[in-house]
Amino acid sequence: MSRVLVARLDSAGDVLLAGPAVRAIAAGNDSGPNEVLMLCGPQGAAAGQLLPGVAEVFTWASPWIVDPAPPVSIEHLAVLQDWVRSRSVTEAVILTSFHQSPLPLAMLLRLAGVRRITGASVDYAGSLLDVRLKPGEDFPEDQPEAERALRIASAAGYRLPANDDGRLRVRDVPDAPELFGGRPYVAVHPGAAVPARAWPPLHHAAAVELLVAAGFNVVVTGGPKERGLTATVAGPDALDLGGETDLRGLAGVLAGASAVVTGNTGPAHLAAAVGTPVVSLFSPVVPAVRWAPYKVPVELLGDQNAACRLSRARECPVPGHPCLADVAPEEVVAAVQRLCLGVASLPARREMRNG
C-alpha cells in the first residue's frame, strides 16, 4: 500500500469539505489503495480524525495559514519535516482554497524528501509542484469547495469509486443522544469563528422562542468559550448544550436533529456530513456557491448581494451588519418548517454517514 500525504491546513469546515477528495486518494488507482496521512492545522485536526480513509492525522500550525500566525523558525519548520521523513512520505496532495498558495508547503515537503507533489497554483510553481493545476484555466473557481478538492485529487490520478456519491461523510459518530425523550428536535448553533458570518445573538434567541412556540423541541450547541452565547440563545425553553460536546459528540447531536440552524461555519459542514438539512444564515463575504452546505437540503438566508459581498472580511465592514441582521427570526422558522416537511428518516441518514 502506497502512502500519500493530504494537506488541508485551515479550519474544521474546510477539512470536512476535503473529505470526498480524501476518499478518492485513499481508494487509490490501478496500483491499489493508498494509506492517507492527513496534515491539518490546529483548528482542523479534530475534523481530520473524523474523515473516512484517514489513517493518521498530524497537527501543525502553518505560519501562512493560522491566525494569529506562529513565528517562523527553523525549529518549527523542522517539526513538520522530521515527521514527514519519519513516515517515509513520497507523495503529497496539497488542498487549498482560491486565496491560498500551495507553494510554501510544497517547498518544505520537497526539502523533506517528498518526490511527487500535486497542487493548484496561479503562480509559477517551478520545480515545487510535479502536477500543477491552473485555477481559472484548468477548472473554474466558482464551484463547491468539495469539488475543487476533487479536481486536485483527480489531477494527482485519484478518483472516487463508482459507488461513492461524493457527499461529505464522517465516521465513528455516536448515536444521537436521547434528548427530549427521543422526540424530534431542531439544533441551533449560533456561534461562528468569524464575527462577520454570525447572525445576531438576540435574533437567534427570538428564533428559538418562535420555534418552541411552533411546537419544536430545540437544542442549542456551542463550544466551551460560547457558553454565555448559548445560554442567551437557549433561554428558559431550549436545551443548552454549550461547551458540552467535542466535535465527535456534536456530530451525534446534529445527526439526530431534524434540521440545523447555523451560519457559514464548521458545524454547517458537519451537519451536511451526517446528512442533516441546514438553514444556512450565510454572509456573502465569501461566495455561497463555494461554501454553502454540500449535497444536503439547504435553505440559504442572507442578502447575497450586500455591500460586503466577496470582501472576505472577518469583521463586518458595513454598519449594522445588514446582510444577516435583516433576516427576521420568522424567516428562519419558516425555513425550518419547509426543511422538516422533507427531512430524511434517521435510519436512512445514519446509513449514509456510515457508508
Domain residues for the domain of 301 are 180-354
Considering the entire predicted model, what is its pTM?
0.94
Domains in the chain: how many in total?
2
Domain annotation covers residue 116 = yes
Residues 325 and 187 in one domain: yes
* Residue 350 confidence (pLDDT) above 80: no
What pLDDT is stored for residue 352 in this prediction?
47
Report the distance separating Cα 45 and Cα 60, nearest Å. 9
Residue 276 near residue 252, CB atoms below 8 Å: no
Name every residue whose Cβ is closer than 8 Å to that of residue 162 and which is 6 or more positions away in sequence. none
What pLDDT is stored for residue 187 in this prediction?
98
Residues 219 and 335 in one domain: yes
Segment (H or E) for 335: helix 329-341
Domain annotation covers residue 323 = yes
Report the distance separating Cα 145 and Cα 290, nearest Å. 5
* Residue 102 confidence (pLDDT) above 50: yes
Domain annotation covers residue 324 = yes
What's the CATH code of the domain at 198?
3.40.50.2000
Percent of the chain with pLDDT over 70: 96
Bridge partners (DSSP) listed for residue 37: 5, 56
What pLDDT is stored for residue 345 in this prediction?
44
Report the distance separating Cα 279 and Cα 335, nearest Å. 7
Residue 334 has which C-alpha cell? 419558516
Residues 33 and 136 in one domain: yes
What pLDDT is stored for residue 348 in this prediction?
43
* Residue 319 confidence (pLDDT) above 70: yes
Residues 88 and 151 in one domain: yes
Residues 242 and 277 in one domain: yes
What pLDDT is stored for residue 30 in this prediction?
87
Domain annotation covers residue 172 = no
* Residue 248 confidence (pLDDT) above 50: yes
Domain annotation covers residue 68 = yes
Minimum mean pLDDT among 19-33, 154-168, 300-314: which range?
300-314
Q: What radius of gyration do the chain's Cα atoms show? A: 20
* Tens-place pLDDT, residues 255-267: 999 999 999 999 9
Report the distance separating Cα 11 and Cα 42, nearest Å. 8
Residue 269 near residue 193, CB atoms below 8 Å: no
C-alpha distances out from residue 162 to 27, 42, 165, 166, 189, Å: 11, 33, 8, 10, 35
Domain annotation covers residue 161 = no
Reported as a pLDDT band with limits 50, 70 and 90, residue 31 is: confident
* Tens-place pLDDT, residues 215-243: 999 999 999 999 999 999 999 999 999 99
Residues 225 and 118 in one domain: no
Residues 107 and 184 in one domain: no
Residues 239 and 318 in one domain: yes
Residues 144 and 186 in one domain: no
* Tens-place pLDDT, residues 156-206: 999 999 999 999 999 999 988 889 988 999 999 999 988 889 999 999 999
Domain annotation covers residue 173 = no
Place of cell 517539526: 79
Residues 85 and 210 in one domain: no
What pLDDT is stored for residue 351 in this prediction?
47
* Residue 209 confidence (pLDDT) above 50: yes
What pLDDT is stored for residue 343 in this prediction?
57
Domain annotation covers residue 171 = no
* Residue 346 confidence (pLDDT) above 50: no
Residues 186 and 81 in one domain: no
Name every residue whose Cβ is closer than 8 Å to that of residue 219 and which is 6 or more positions away in sequence. 179, 180, 185, 186, 187, 188, 238, 239, 241, 253, 257
Strands (E) located in the chain:
2-8, 34-40, 54-59, 91-94, 116-120, 131-133, 186-189, 218-220, 239-240, 259-263, 278-281, 298-301
Residues 83 and 232 in one domain: no
Last residue of a domain, one of 121, 155, 189: 155
Reported as a pLDDT band with limits 50, 70 and 90, residue 316 is: confident
What pLDDT is stored for residue 347 in this prediction?
43
Say which amino acid occupies 19.
Answer: G
Residue 219 — left, alpha, or beta (φ > 0 → left; ψ -120 to 50 → alpha)?
beta
What φ, ψ does residue 255 adopt, rounded to 5°?
-65, -30
Mean pLDDT of the chain: 94
* Residue 141 confidence (pLDDT) above 90: no
